C-alpha cells in the first residue's frame, strides 16, 4: 500500500511516500543487516558540536528486547505495534562533553530519526514513531540511566494490506493525510 502525500510542490519521492502505517505484515521479519543502512543514515545526521547525542535499542519480534518494549506500549499502540518486525527505542544523551545540559540533544536525536526514517523508506521499510508508552517502565526494563533518556519508540516493518488487519486498524490506514499549509508556518 502507498499513501503518497498530496503535496503543493514537488518534493523527493521518498519524502512524499513516507507515512506511518499501523498495519504491519505480521509474517515479515527484519534483521540488523536490513536496518543497517537506516542506522548508517542516522549516523551521518548533523548535530550540535557533532556530539551525536543519540543511541538506539533494537528488539526484533520474538526476542526478549522486543517483548520488553512491547509490554510498555500504551493504549491503541499496544494492539498494532507488536505486529511490526522490530521495535526501536530512541535514546538521547542529555549532557555535553563538559557535563552541561545539551540544549540540542532532543533536536539532534530528532534529526537522526528523520535520516533513519527516510533511508528506511527508501529501503522499503516503514517506520511508525510513538510517544505512547510507559516511560518509567521502559527505562527500568531496558536499564537506561542518566544522563541517557528514552524519548520515543519506533515500530519498523513492512506495511501490510489493510484488508489483512482489524477494522479498527484498517480504518486509520484510509484516513486522509493532512497538513497545515506552509503559509501557516513560514513567514
Ligand X SMILES: Cc1cc2nc3c(=O)[nH]c(=O)nc-3n(C[C@H](O)[C@H](O)[C@H](O)COP(=O)(O)O)c2cc1C
Residues in contact with ligand X by the rule CB under 6 A: 19-20, 77, 129-132, 152
Residue 18 CA to residue 126 CA, distance in Å, equals: 7
Q: How far apart are CA 21 and CA 133, in angstroms?
A: 18
- CB-nearer residue toward ligand X: 96 or 137: 137
List of residues 6+ apart from 95 with CB closer than 8 A: 101, 102, 147
**Longest alpha-carbon distance in the chain:** 53
For residue 99, the minimal CB distance to ligand X (Å) is: 27
Decide whether 26 or 129 has the Cβ nearer to ligand X.
129
Nearer to ligand X among residue 100 and residue 180 (C-beta): 180
At its nearest, how many Å lie between ligand X and the CB of residue 115? 14
The residue whose Cβ lies closest to ligand X is: 132
Q: How far apart are CA 156 and CA 57, in angstroms?
A: 13
Compare residues 52 and 129 and give the one whose CB is closer to ligand X. Answer: 129
Find the distance separating the first CA and the last CA of the chain, reported in whole Å: 35
Shortest distance in whole angstroms from residue 180 CB to ligand X: 12
Closest distance of CB 138 from ligand X, Å = 13
Amino acid at each position: 500500500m502507498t499513501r503518497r502525500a498530496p503535496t503543493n510542490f514537488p518534493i523527493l519521492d521518498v519524502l512524499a511516500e513516507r507515512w506511518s502505517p499501523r498495519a504491519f505484515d505480521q509474517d515479515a521479519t527484519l534483521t540488523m543487516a536490513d536496518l543497517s543502512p537506516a542506522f548508517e543514515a542516522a549516523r551521518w545526521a548533523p548535530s550540535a558540536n557533532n556530539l551525536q547525542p543519540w543511541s538506539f535499542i533494537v528488539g526484533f519480534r520474538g526476542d526478549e528486547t522486543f517483548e520488553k518494549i512491547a509490554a510498555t506500549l500504551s493504549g491503541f499502540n499496544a494492539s498494532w505495534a507488536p505486529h511490526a518486525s522490530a521495535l526501536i527505542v530512541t535514546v538521547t544523551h542529555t549532557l555535553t562533553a563538559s557535563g552541561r545540559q545539551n540544549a540540542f540533544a532532543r533536536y539532534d536525536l530528532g534529526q537522526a530519526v528523520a535520516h533513519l526514517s527516510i533511508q528506511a523508506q527508501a529501503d522499503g521499510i516503514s517506520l511508525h514513531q510513538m510517544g505512547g508508552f510507559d516511560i518509567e517502565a521502559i527505562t527500568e526494563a531496558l536499564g537506561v540511566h542518566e544522563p541517557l533518556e528514552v524519548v520515543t519508540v519506533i515500530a519498523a516493518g513492512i506495511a501490510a494490506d489493510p484488508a489483512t488487519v482489524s477494522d479498527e486498524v484498517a480504518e486509520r490506514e484510509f484516513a486522509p493525510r493532512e497538513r497545515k499549509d506552509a503559509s501557516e508556518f513560514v513567514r
